Amino acid sequence: MPNHLLQLEGLSDERLTQLLDAAAAYLPAARGQGQVPAALAGRLVAQMFFEDSTRTRLSFEAAAARLGARSMSLQGAGSSASKGETFLDTALNVDALGVDAMVVRTSISGGPALLARHVRCAVINAGDGRREHPTQGLLDCLTIREAFGRFNGIHVGIVGDIANSRVARSAIHALTTLGASVHLIGPPTLLPGCFAGVARRAESVHITHDLDAILDRLDVIMMLRVQLERSAGGGIAADYREHYGLTHQRAQRLPSHCIVMHPGPVNRGVEVDDDVADDVRRSQILRQVTHGVAVRMAVLQESMPR
């Protein structure tokens, strides 16, 4: 039976640690510093991206190639979806080609879970609407674990457009399960009251609208992109930097050991100033990309039927 990866919500500490350990073993290969056995030689992976992507799509393709699998790519533009074919019908036709796994990004929240109920191959969620982005959550956790060696006692600030962020949701589920404390920070319009329910369910989740008041408490600061394509814009971008941007001045107030993360793409000068994003002492932004390959190698290998 295939092993789907649809979400991080509900996964145990043990399961998350297992996935992180498997990914850590692939880090040298992800860096191009050695080869691994072609464990997925002869396997076929369908990369189905109905939303734009650079890092996630290419890292899944790199992960498949490192493991010896072949990929075939399908993007929304130019596919039969533009002729009216349903999301499910497209997936059923791809499944009928004999693929072993499909990596799916869609604007439909719950879309990958729908496909998993109807196809025979493994389904891996590469981001579904505002719901979850599980491999991003895993790579973020891998980055934090590599930096600190633990999650207990670590304070992670997630800053910005949390209302629209599937990245934030996956990170919250994984980090709190693994023992970290999570601080959700953003303007009221992008951090709505529904997240109060998250805080009530998890004592390790804290909500604030004041970034400056919490800077000196953070071990990790994860900046999120303002998602204009999900109606997060309005007048937000104009004064976002003043109140929630990680400026040079704010970065100076962070503890010396605090690392800076961002899932990309980065709106430079809005969420993060150039010198902060490029600071090799703090910034983990490019390391996150490398970790994404390792995580996706682990997920692809575990998803395939033996």
The string of pLDDT tens digits covering residues 16-45 is: 999 999 999 999 999 989 888 899 999 999
Residue 198 in this model has a pLDDT that exceeds 80: no
For the chain, what is the domain count?
Answer: 2
* 124, 299 Cβ separation under 8 angstroms: yes
* Run of H or E residues at 59: helix 55-66
Task: Please check whether residue 140 lies inside any domain of the structure.
Answer: yes
220 falls within a domain: yes
pLDDT-based confidence at 191, cuts 50/70/90?
confident
Residue 54 sits in the same domain as residue 162: no
Q: Please enumerate, as own/partner, the contacts of 25-32 that have beta carbons within 8 Å and a separation of 24 or more.
A: 25/298, 26/66, 26/293, 26/294, 26/297, 26/298, 27/290, 27/291, 27/294, 29/66, 29/294, 29/297, 30/62, 30/63, 30/66, 30/290, 30/291, 30/293, 30/294, 30/297, 31/290
Q: What is the pLDDT of residues 66-123, one digit of tens each?
A: 999 999 999 866 566 666 789 999 999 999 999 999 999 999 999 999 999 999 999 9
- Co-location of 177 and 279 in the same domain: yes
Question: Do residue 72 and residue 198 come from a single domain?
Answer: no
Chain segment 152-171, per-residue pLDDT in tens? 999 999 999 888 899 999 99
Which residue range is the domain that position 58 belongs to?
Answer: 13-131+289-303
Is 4 inside any structural domain? no
Please state which of the ranges 77-86, 172-181, 183-192 shows the lowest mean pLDDT: 77-86
Are 152 and 272 in a shared domain?
yes
- The DSSP secondary-structure symbol of 216 reads G
Task: Note whether residue 217 is domain-resident.
Answer: yes
Residue 99 shares a structural domain with residue 87: yes
Q: Are residues 125 and 170 in the same domain?
A: no
3: in domain: no
Residue 8 covered by a domain: no
Choice among 43-47, 235-239, 254-258 with the minimum mean pLDDT: 235-239
> Is residue 187 included in any domain, yes or no?
yes
* Whether residue 149 sits in one domain with residue 230: yes
Residues 279, 155, single domain; the answer is yes
Q: Which CATH number characterizes residue 177's domain?
A: 3.40.50.1370
Return the pLDDT at 194: 56
Cα-flanking dihedrals φ and ψ of residue 81, to 5°? -60, -30
Say if residue 247 is in the same domain as residue 168: yes
Judgement on whether residues 157 and 196 belong to the same structural domain of the protein: yes
Residues 158, 224 share a domain: yes
Q: How confident is the model at residue 1 (pLDDT cuts 50, 70, 90)?
A: confident
151: left (phi over 0), alpha (psi -120 to 50) or beta: alpha
Residues 222 and 117 in one domain: no
User: Is the residue at 271 inside a domain?
Assistant: yes
